[in-house]
Amino acid sequence: MPGLPLEGLRVLDLSMWFAGPMGSRLLADMGAEVIKIESLGHIDPWRGPARVTPILIERMPELASVEKPYNRSAGFNLQNRNKYGITLDLRTGRGKEVFMKLVEVSDVVLENYSPRVMDSLDIDYPVLTEINPRLIMMSLPALGRTGPDRDHIAFGQTIDCMSGMAYLTGYPGEEPMLQSGLSYGDPLSGMNAAFAVLSALHYRRRTGRGMHIDLSQVEGLISFNADSVMDYTMNGRVRERMGNRHPSMAPHGCYRCRGEDNWVVIAVSSDAVWERFCQALEQPPWTEDTRFSNLPGRYRHQDELDRLIEVWTVQHDHYDVMRILQRADVPAGPVLNARELTEEPHLNERGIFETVTHPEAGTHPYIGMYARFSKTPGSIRMPAPCLGEHNRYVFGEILGMSEEGISELEELGIIGTEALPEQQGGMF
Amino acid sequence: MEQALSGVRVLDVTHYIAGPYCTKLLADYGAEVVKVERHGTGDGARRIGPFYKDDPHPEKSGLFLYLNTNKRGVTLNLKSETGIRIFRELVVDADILVENFSPRVMASLGLDYESLERINPGLVMTSISNFGQTGPYRDYKATEIVADAMGGWMSIIGHPDREPLKPGGNQAQFVSGLFGCVGTMTAFHGRELTGVGQHVDISLMDAVLYIQMNITQIYHYHERVTSRIGNMVLPPPGSILPCRDGYIGAIAVTNSQWQSLCEWMGKPELASDERFLTRIHRTENVDELIATLIPWLLEHDQEELLREAQKRRIPFGIPAGADRLLNSEHLNERGYFVDVEHPVTGKVRYPGAQFGLGDLPYELKPAPLLGEHNEEIYCHRLGYNKKDLVRLRETGVI
């Protein structure tokens, strides 16, 4: 197959933070030409602050000499590799004019502003479709483009709350939990967005018609707990937090292993697996206890069973528990942390990490492709763009603007490569 | 009814959650999905709850019913030679094949990609498995919690002094199903341009790693291991905390959101308090910040907190259980939930569209009864006659 499957597809990406950029990256990784649009006064907050502040230097002295911290953000550089990056101030007449020229020659516009911001910029779908009737526009506001709460403000962790995800996560009988790292709604919405765009493209290829896609991040996430929704609509039952327990397996949980913060999970999914589990442990006397010989018994005495299992697991490293149990075909695996994942033999043999050099951030491994494509494996072809890095390529080569024209936009501050100060940036 | 994927032919030999979710989404957006179930017992999800009125009947599993909308269903015995032959006839007729057996199964049936490519060079074949089609763990056993652990997700959920937690539900399986859609449609797009299909290998472990890929990225950039820090997303406040009548997601991310929150609490001095001045300060003094917040939250109700926070553009949210979701005015006005009429359960309300594709129609037709479309597919599509069908039934093929 010549080239990557999405070669020839051009996506204008106005999205910021995590969800939208993840969506366009899934397309970029497989060959789409994604042009990320920021402006000097509104850089992607995922880049971090526009300037290194004294508070930052106090804590990370190595940043003292860094002029453009926003080109070195871990999170931004992950989500925006394989994309081109330009700056363009859409609040100016000239900026908007250039944007419209780009819309004319693009297939997809992706944005994750709240619906009211798109209205206020006057670049909503009806306006853009006048210029390019084949355009596919992808909007992914938190709660969708319609409905009484459409203008609610939500970050990823808010979406974890609103979608029911947090309600189902937590220790039994205790409060709903957010995860400590980042939100789940963001990457999930990015995946939904990529799937939606690919579906719309197929429709356009058949019919020639573009469309406006309305993706509510909350709705996309609700369906991931469809069984909980259905339990309510079929039985009037509100599912609660179960910790690491399972409604129809026992024992099923996370057990302490030897060493600091070392844990393994074990799932005994049937009576046959229980037999193999006991054999793998070399049948200590408690495994002969008849209370444990069938699922209802094991389920009833889970607390006791968990304590007995942990007496065994604490004697071993979590990888050793995995090997002992997997040899007996018992589902078990270590709880891996970021360092262990990076060093994980299975992941590395499958080539999930790729090492890439970014001109300002340096050389690092990055997570690579989300799937193994047999004929078009794909790779990280280029690092994430520095701010405005591809202005000349996009305005000059794609739009055919003259060098004078581009310089004029620079002088007017409509485009450029240096962020205006006073931007605080986001999480990283 | 013209939908985005109308005319795309999908052969679906999946079971349980990950594979069926992938083909459900393709079917919901218009693809013609033929689901092949093991004859006799069918998809294992038919034996998993919740069941309609708690009756554990193979046509009443809510999980199965949700995951198989808009599909046509046939039964086929892949352990018989005739069954394999019929399956290959279905492959010739398909654009896309999705399967989620453990990695050796398709090859042992002579149905691996290399064999099928020879009879249908344009075929896009997607395989979803626990650890992928290659690598040292390929043949390991896993369930949801094992993928949650080994993809790293559990390392960031829970309190630091207690055991790590899995996310609620079956997230690894749903996520890999959605990755299956992205991968399948990507390969299919390439197929449409070049005529050449390919094999797409999706793994649950990879999918989980992808969901919280920021933790490996932070490690690669800063050699810092993100560990579980309890009920919290930084910068604070970013926790689910008690309020007067339950819990509230008390979330303020930016400086201006924090300043608005201080003003609302009637404590504007906190905004200029140097312990809480910036994101960095708030993170460093998180315990004090939360301690300041809790007594105030306990004086207010969920709804009141949500309404007032949103008015002030602070991203609070209420942790919603299923009852709150089903009764949400917003979701209902958007028509998110859909009533599906099924011959055995009658009318039941299901979660609806993942997204709306322009003004194209969206509807949910009920999941197939076991073997419901045998005659339609085997006779009308493949050209067997009624007599053949009887013979296939008698010999245990369908």
Whether residues A30 and B181 touch (CB distance < 8 A) is answered with no
pLDDT at A427: 54
pLDDT at A423: 81
User: Of B151, B149, B175, which Cα lies nearest the Cα of B164?
Assistant: B149
pLDDT at A64: 86
On chain A, the residues whose CB falls within 8 A of the CB of B48 are: 248
Whether residues A249 and B66 touch (CB distance < 8 A) is answered with no
* Alpha-carbon gap, residue A366 to B240, rounded angstroms: 32
Percent of chain B scoring above 90 in pLDDT: 96
User: Which of A13, A29, A160, A186 is an active site residue?
Assistant: A186
At A151, which CATH number?
3.40.50.10540
At B66, which CATH number?
3.40.50.10540
On chain A, the residues whose CB falls within 8 A of the CB of B159 are: 171
Q: From B8, which residue of chain A is nearest by alpha-carbon distance?
A: A202
Q: From A78, which residue of chain B is nearest by alpha-carbon distance?
A: B217
Give B28-81 pLDDT, tens digit per residue: 999 999 999 998 899 999 999 999 999 999 999 999 999 999 999 999 999 999
Q: Are residues B56 and B81 in the same domain?
A: yes
The answer to the question of residue B230 being in a domain is no
| Mean confidence (pLDDT) of chain B | 96
Q: Residue A337: which of B62, B66, B155 has the nearest Cβ?
A: B155
Sign of CA dihedral B384, B385, B386, B387: negative
Parent domain of A322: 252-335
* Alpha-carbon gap, residue A15 to A208, rounded angstroms: 25
The answer to the question of residue A291 being in a domain is yes
pLDDT at B122: 97
On chain A, the residues whose CB falls within 8 A of the CB of B345 are: 234
Mean pLDDT by 10 residues, chain A (428 residues): 88 96 98 97 92 85 89 96 97 95 98 80 92 96 93 92 96 92 87 98 97 96 96 98 95 97 97 97 94 95 97 98 98 98 97 97 97 97 98 97 97 96 69
pLDDT at A426: 65
User: What six digits make up the tokens of A265?
Assistant: 């999970």
Whether residues A333 and B140 touch (CB distance < 8 A) is answered with yes
The answer to the question of residue B377 being in a domain is yes
User: What six digits make up the tokens of A325?
Assistant: 């149990």
User: What six digits make up the tokens of A377?
Assistant: 């494996």
Q: What mean pLDDT do residues B278-282 have?
A: 91
pLDDT at A285: 94
Q: Are residues A132 and A193 in the same domain?
A: yes
| Domain finish residue from B289, B320, B351 | B320
pLDDT at B98 over 60: yes
pLDDT at A181: 64
pLDDT at A54: 85
* Alpha-carbon gap, residue A158 to B103, rounded angstroms: 38
On chain A, the residues whose CB falls within 8 A of the CB of B318 are: 161-162
pLDDT at A119: 76
pLDDT at A63: 83
Q: In Å, how far is A355's CA from the nearest CA of chain B?
A: 10
The answer to the question of residue A428 being in a domain is no
Q: What mean pLDDT do residues B357-364 have?
A: 96
On chain B, the residues whose CB falls within 8 A of the CB of A347 are: 135, 205-206, 209
CB atoms within 10 A of CB B47: 16
Q: Residue A223: which of B145, B281, B351 has the nearest Cβ?
A: B351
Q: Are residues A78 and A214 in the same domain?
A: yes
pLDDT at A428: 44
Contacts of B247 (CB under 8 A, 6+ apart): A175, A176, B240, B241, B302, B318, B319
Q: Are residues B312 and B181 in the same domain?
A: no
Q: What is the SS3 assignment for B354?
A: coil
| A186 annotated active-site | yes
pLDDT at B322: 98
The answer to the question of residue B331 being in a domain is no
Q: Is B196 on the interface with A (CB under 8 A)?
A: yes
- pTM of the predicted structure, to 2 decimals: 0.97
Residue window 369-398, chain B: list those with CB within 8 Å of chain A.
none
Q: Are residues B189 and B73 in the same domain?
A: yes
User: Looking at the 3D structure of chain A, how many domains does it have?
Assistant: 2
Q: Are residues B63 and B120 in the same domain?
A: yes
pLDDT at A2: 59
Q: Are residues B246 and B270 in the same domain?
A: yes
Q: From A19, which residue of chain B is nearest by alpha-carbon distance?
A: B211
Q: From A59, which residue of chain B is nearest by alpha-carbon distance?
A: B280
User: Looking at the 3D structure of chain B, how many domains does it have?
Assistant: 2
Parent domain of B69: 9-211+336-394
User: What six digits make up the tokens of B360?
Assistant: 């194209």
Q: Is B285 on the interface with A (CB under 8 A)?
A: no
Q: Are residues A122 and A75 in the same domain?
A: yes
Q: Are residues A58 and A159 in the same domain?
A: yes
Q: Are residues B63 and B128 in the same domain?
A: yes
Q: Are residues A354 and A325 in the same domain?
A: no
Q: What is the SS3 assignment for A357?
A: strand
